[in-house]
Amino acid sequence: MNLETMEQTPPADPVPATATGGDFCPILGFDHLELYVGNAKQSAAYYCQAFGFECTAVRGLETGERMRASCLVEQGGIRILLTSALHSSHDAARSVRRHGDSVAVIALSVPDADEAFSAAVSRGAQAAAAPATARDEHGELRHASIRLYGDCVLQFMDRRDYAGLFGPGFEPPPEVPGAAAPRGCGLLAIDHVVANVELGRMNEWAHFFARVLGFNQLVHFDDEAISTEYSALMSKVMQDGSGVIKFPINEPAEGRRKSQIEEFLDFHEGPGVQHIACRTDDIVGAVSRLRKNGVEFLRVPATYYDELEQRVGKIDEPIERLAEFGILADRDEDGYLLQIFTKPVEDRPTLFYEIIERHGARGFGEGNFKSLFVALEREQAARGNL
């Protein structure tokens, strides 16, 4: 697999994004996300100390792996595999050179990887890796991948015949005497994974998810809804038949200055995953712990809270507590949600995280877009990129 030639072109046929062919590609949930990073060992330390993850499996020279080193970090149902290259010819090295640390693989748990792969490819997906079996004394893991936006791949993972640790080749991490015991921050599951794509490509990718994977379009935000004085973006949210998997897709819209999406595309050098939203059922507790651990969050002006109750109505949490931590609230017809966004977690202004607590609401915090973008643009200006 050569990253230089991996620019994926989505099928360009005019299938409406709302058209689905039934649930021909059943998905059980997110299996894991794999990030290619410059140094998996040090990234794992950051994810553990700052975000409260626990390293549960490793692979590398000590486990017989010659080309890459990986640490799996877990919290609740969230699994993030951090992989770095042990040799410059490995894909992870080329990916980091171009994108910096970024999401390389979105792995979905499926009942049958072969069926998912052949359904996707027969509907126009480009194969990244044909179905293959990884086996050890704990059983067999069946997996296959198709290409996604930029250099990302979507992997289908079938674990029904595997009872081991994360996968063949992985071992428990070595015990480090005196190391602090892992302390979770209350993150429970991946809620959604958002991509930024180039101007004019959002619809193509919405069609891709509809045609290739049978997803529905959940919502669409145009640049009228998401704009500030300076920049604008458009967004479509695609979700699978069960509603478990949600992939919002953003593209920049014409604005007076460089949009946050363009800044991402410039520094990521192409499309890719912009943010990963993690669900919690105690956002105040989670953010309090994350902040103590040194995680930096975007702040909206204090005036945001002045009219919050008029806008979202009665919510269980005291507004003062939300204001203290900079947590945002929004309401849709199904309920309300609380959310907050970290600053980028690497030097490039690319990948960041969202923490979200849902009380019925199925949206994405549309009511917060404007105040958020103003906060984002303040950061962008500080970076000299507005």
Question: By CB under 5 A, which span of 147-155, 167-175, 275-283, 309-317 interacts with Fe ion?
Answer: 275-283
* 271, 204 Cβ separation under 8 angstroms: no
Residue 246 has phi, psi (to 5 degrees) of: -125, 125
- Output 212 or 340, the one with its CB closest to Fe ion: 340
Per-residue tokens: 80: 């993030």
Among 249, 277, 295, 361, binds Fe ion (CB under 5 A): 277
Give me the least distance between CB of 352 and Fe ion, in Å please.
10
Using CB under 5 A as the binding rule, whether residue 354 contacts Fe ion is answered as yes
- Output 69 or 195, the one with its CB closest to Fe ion: 195
Question: By CB under 5 A, which span of 91-99, 115-123, 350-358, 374-382 interacts with Fe ion?
Answer: 350-358
Give me the least distance between CB of 104 and Fe ion, in Å please.
20
Question: How many chain residues interact with Fe ion (CB under 5 A)?
Answer: 2
Q: How would you write 165-194 as a 3-class SS string?
A: CCCCCCECCCCCCCCCCCCCCCCCEEEEEE
Give me the least distance between CB of 339 and Fe ion, in Å please.
7
Give me the least distance between CB of 332 and Fe ion, in Å please.
14
- Output 201 or 358, the one with its CB closest to Fe ion: 358
91 vs 4, 154, 218, 248, CA distance in Å?
10, 16, 34, 26
Q: How many CA atoms lie within 13 A of 357 on its CB side?
A: 19
Residues 14-33 that bind Fe ion (CB under 5 A): none
Question: By CB under 5 A, which span of 57-65, 233-241, 307-315, 352-360 interacts with Fe ion?
Answer: 352-360
Order the strands of the 78-85 sheet from edge to edge: 54-59, 68-75, 78-85, 29-36, 102-109, 153-158, 139-147, 127-136
- Output 162 or 341, the one with its CB closest to Fe ion: 341
- Output 135 or 362, the one with its CB closest to Fe ion: 362
Per the DSSP assignment, residues forming a β-bridge with 141 are 134
* 242, 47 Cβ separation under 8 angstroms: no
Using CB under 5 A as the binding rule, whether residue 372 contacts Fe ion is answered as no
> Binding pattern to Fe ion, positions 296-335, x when CB under 5 A?
----------------------------------------
Question: By CB under 5 A, which span of 1-9, 49-57, 160-168, 272-280 interacts with Fe ion?
Answer: 272-280
* 323, 306 Cβ separation under 8 angstroms: no
* 36, 54 Cβ separation under 8 angstroms: no
Give me the least distance between CB of 319 and Fe ion, in Å please.
22
254 vs 65, 76, 352, 384, CA distance in Å?
47, 40, 23, 19
Residue 291 is inside which H or E element, if any? helix 283-292
- Output 263 or 354, the one with its CB closest to Fe ion: 354
d(CA 292, CA 219): 35
Residues 207-226 that bind Fe ion (CB under 5 A): none
Note the maximum CA span of the chain: 60
Give me the least distance between CB of 277 and Fe ion, in Å please.
4
- Output 91 or 379, the one with its CB closest to Fe ion: 379
- Tell me which residues touch Fe ion (CB under 5 A): 277, 354
